Structure 1
């Protein structure tokens, strides 16, 4: 897996991603402490609102940013967005009112909503070989999982010698270092698309996404992933410290078990995907998530929670990590930024549904009800994904007919008649999926 780091451009971008992730992790810890400092017992409400603002920015801003990103140099755009994020992090220690947190979080997450899909859409152009790209996806998954474990530990160590306000300095350094790493490489130019209206550019990724059966299946699977991960992220602390009456360190260990399972799956995925199809691996991962939530209904001990969370981590990585491969082969290079932005927005819309559901069920009914409700959501979404994402619709090359194109049209490449076959994606000549 690590041999792809021999590619200098990818290596610098990966290091930029890792450094920015650590900075973001420090900011997450510091933001919680800042909220408590300003709001006391109402800190949970402040953080809940900040999370809602984050998701709203992701859902609303990513497609808009993608519409303009195709006209801008990628390197300049990524560096500029890192600098914006650094400036916001620099301002956070000076916040004195709760509303100021909300404004800064919206600006920070809007910049991230533009940065992340653009970054993700650049990687397939740097690593055109599918095996290399698969390794990059797994390496990226490992980076996210390691960050979720390492950043809180680093923050805890730093808090023994500095105040939480100074943690934001680590975030600033992270974003500045990320910008510096990106600035050291030349990135492939985004392929230019025909002139389109702002509306067409803003909605293009979403229209391609919803017109492609495998991606509609991915959308349903996103909801399965969101349901399981919401149970882990929202209710782990309640399960460990309320139901089992254990200390904070046990909460950290439980979250580490989930991350560990995800890392194990990420390590085996490159070899696994050489032998089985993306659809098989992802739907199997979704099945693990549904089964894990169902088993959790009978959860009674912390010692059982740890392996259950590890199994959920395996399912999470299996179901989510290969999604970049689906996006890569479901659009032309010039449409990838818009398609990655659509996936970014739609996947976070799923979390915007499941995060509050997990919290409300756990707080107002019971944690068992939270397991039941999320298992029903995850299972229903998985069934929808299986029905929509049929093997017949997952073929790369499809024989099809263009009824409205003349025989001498350039797209037909001089072939007799209009019945032909090639790798099929939604574009200007192919606006709907054959036989869908």
Structure 2
């Protein structure tokens, strides 16, 4: 897996990703604690709303930005997005009202909606060999998972000596270092094709390619399965830890670290697993695991106040759902790559970025707003969504056939 780091361009990009992720991890924990300070037991509703705004930025901004910046150098796009994110993160410690969280979260995530698809679409150009690309995907997933372990551990350590507001400074530093790393990279220019068609044509191109490709249609549905489990973990972990179980701030970090550990174990083994099973089998297995995990979360939530071992069961369940998510997310970029050409790649990656977050636009409000009325109701609703989307994905994605799927062009989608 580490052999891909011999490529100097990818090595610097990967380093930029890691430091930005570390900062983002600190932001996730600090934002949860800020929400708890401002809203108490209703922190889940605040986070649910903030994350819904984040999804609105991702769904609405990403395709438009991708079309508008098509002619701009990727380096300029990446660096500008990092600088905006750093500026917003630096402002977060000074917030005193809930509505201010919502405004700055939108600006921050609009910048992320610009950065992430541009970053993802560059990697296949840097690493054209599929095996090398698969290793890079696993390494990228591993980076996310290590961040989920390291950031909470670092946050827990820092919280023993400083207030959580200082964690936002770490986020700012992460984005600035990421920008500096990108500045030093000579990105290939071949990945940018001349813009074709109107802004509307380019904005909707990726979604139209998804609609005509069976594996991408299934991926679109699997986004809901991932969204259901992720929403429960990200929105309600702080409520479980601080309110339901009455634990300390560090317990939130431990819950998120457990989630990351499960995902990391899978990410380390994805290249070997894919050689034996293929993308479809692994991704649908992950969907089944997530559904089972959410179903098990129902009795765990009901028994939270009566069963002494329910907190440890939660940590194990979070690890299980982290593993299931990695089974879907890690191979998904291979599906996108196979369905794209040099001309359509950025549009397809952007479409997946928007469509995956459109799923969160459904699941985050359920986890937050319904969870504010009662965690059990939120878990039941999310489990139903996961089960339905898992079944739909199996139906929509037939077993591999001899004929490959069509690859759409700029004008033929």
State the TM-score, normalizing by the size of structure 1.
0.85
User: Matched residue of 1:322: which SS?
Assistant: helix
Matched, 1:328 2:329: no
Matched, 1:129 2:129: yes
Of 381, 388, 413 in structure 2, the residue corresponding to residue 380 of structure 1 is 388
Greater RCO (Cα-Cα under 8 Å, separation 6 or more): 2
How far the C-alpha of 1:172 sits from its partner, in A, is: 2.1
How far the C-alpha of 1:240 sits from its partner, in A, is: 4.9
Task: Tell me which residue corresponds to 2:202.
Answer: 201
How far the C-alpha of 1:2 sits from its partner, in A, is: 1.2
What is the distance in 2 between the residues matched to 1:97 and 1:244?
A: 26
Of 369, 378, 399 in structure 2, the residue corresponding to residue 391 of structure 1 is 399
Matched, 1:185 2:194: no
What is the distance in 1 between the residues matched to 2:356 and 2:61?
A: 14
Structure 2 vs 1, CA of residues 217 and 39 (structure 1 numbering), >3 Å: closer, same or farther? closer
Task: Tell me which residue corresponds to 1:405.
Answer: none
Larger radius of gyration: 1
Task: Tell me which residue corresponds to 2:228.
Answer: 227
Task: Tell me which residue corresponds to 1:312.
Answer: 321
Structure 2 vs 1, CA of residues 244 and 103 (structure 1 numbering), >3 Å: closer, same or farther? closer
For the 8 Å contact 1:67–1:202, the answer to whether it is kept is: yes
What is the distance in 1 between the residues matched to 2:234 and 2:49?
A: 16
- Alpha carbon RMSD of aligned pairs, Å? 2.5
For the 8 Å contact 1:26–1:167, the answer to whether it is kept is: yes
Task: Tell me which residue corresponds to 2:306.
Answer: none
Structure 2 vs 1, CA of residues 166 and 269 (structure 1 numbering), >3 Å: closer, same or farther? same
1:203-232 deviation per Cα after TM superposition (whole angstroms, max 9, x unaligned): 111111222111110011111111122223
For the 8 Å contact 1:50–1:102, the answer to whether it is kept is: yes
What is the distance in 2 between the residues matched to 1:164 and 1:252?
A: 12
How far the C-alpha of 1:239 sits from its partner, in A, is: 4.2
How far the C-alpha of 1:252 sits from its partner, in A, is: 3.5
Structure 2 vs 1, CA of residues 312 and 3 (structure 1 numbering), >3 Å: closer, same or farther? same
Matched, 1:103 2:103: yes
User: Is 225-234 or 292-301 further displaced after alignment?
Assistant: 292-301
What is the distance in 2 between the residues matched to 1:108 and 1:86?
A: 9
What is the distance in 2 between the residues matched to 1:130 and 1:268?
A: 16
What is the distance in 1 between the residues matched to 2:157 and 2:187?
A: 37
How far the C-alpha of 1:39 sits from its partner, in A, is: 6.4
Task: Tell me which residue corresponds to 2:360.
Answer: 351
User: Matched residue of 1:200: which SS?
Assistant: helix
Task: Tell me which residue corresponds to 2:25.
Answer: 25
What is the distance in 1 between the residues matched to 2:402 and 2:169?
A: 49
Structure 2 vs 1, CA of residues 184 and 396 (structure 1 numbering), >3 Å: closer, same or farther? farther
What is the distance in 2 between the residues matched to 1:249 and 1:103?
A: 27
Residue correspondence of structure 1 range 141-152 to structure 2 within 5 A: 141-152=141-152
Of 321, 346, 364 in structure 1, the residue corresponding to residue 373 of structure 2 is 364
For the 8 Å contact 2:63–2:350, the answer to whether it is kept is: yes
How far the C-alpha of 1:43 sits from its partner, in A, is: 5.7
Matched, 1:155 2:162: no
User: Matched residue of 1:196: which SS?
Assistant: coil
User: Matched residue of 1:332: which SS?
Assistant: coil
What is the distance in 1 between the residues matched to 2:345 and 2:223?
A: 19
For the 8 Å contact 2:67–2:202, the answer to whether it is kept is: yes
What is the distance in 2 between the residues matched to 1:174 and 1:428?
A: 36
Equivalenced residue count is 404
How far the C-alpha of 1:361 sits from its partner, in A, is: 4.2
User: Is 232-241 or 350-359 further displaced after alignment?
Assistant: 232-241
For the 8 Å contact 1:69–1:118, the answer to whether it is kept is: no
Structure 2 vs 1, CA of residues 427 and 3 (structure 1 numbering), >3 Å: closer, same or farther? same
Residue correspondence of structure 1 range 270-349 to structure 2 within 5 A: 270-299=271-300, 300=303, 301-302=309-310, 303-349=312-358
Task: Tell me which residue corresponds to 1:426.
Answer: 408
What is the distance in 1 between the residues matched to 2:46 and 2:226?
A: 26
State the TM-score, normalizing by the size of structure 2.
0.89
For the 8 Å contact 1:86–1:171, the answer to whether it is kept is: yes
1:65-105 deviation per Cα after TM superposition (whole angstroms, max 9, x unaligned): 11123211111211111112122223334445554443322
How far the C-alpha of 1:41 sits from its partner, in A, is: 7.4
For the 8 Å contact 1:358–1:374, the answer to whether it is kept is: yes
What is the distance in 1 between the residues matched to 2:315 and 2:108?
A: 34
How far the C-alpha of 1:174 sits from its partner, in A, is: 1.2
For the 8 Å contact 2:235–2:368, the answer to whether it is kept is: yes
Unmatched tracts of structure 1, length 5 or more: 399-423, 432-436
Unmatched tracts of structure 2, length 5 or more: 304-308
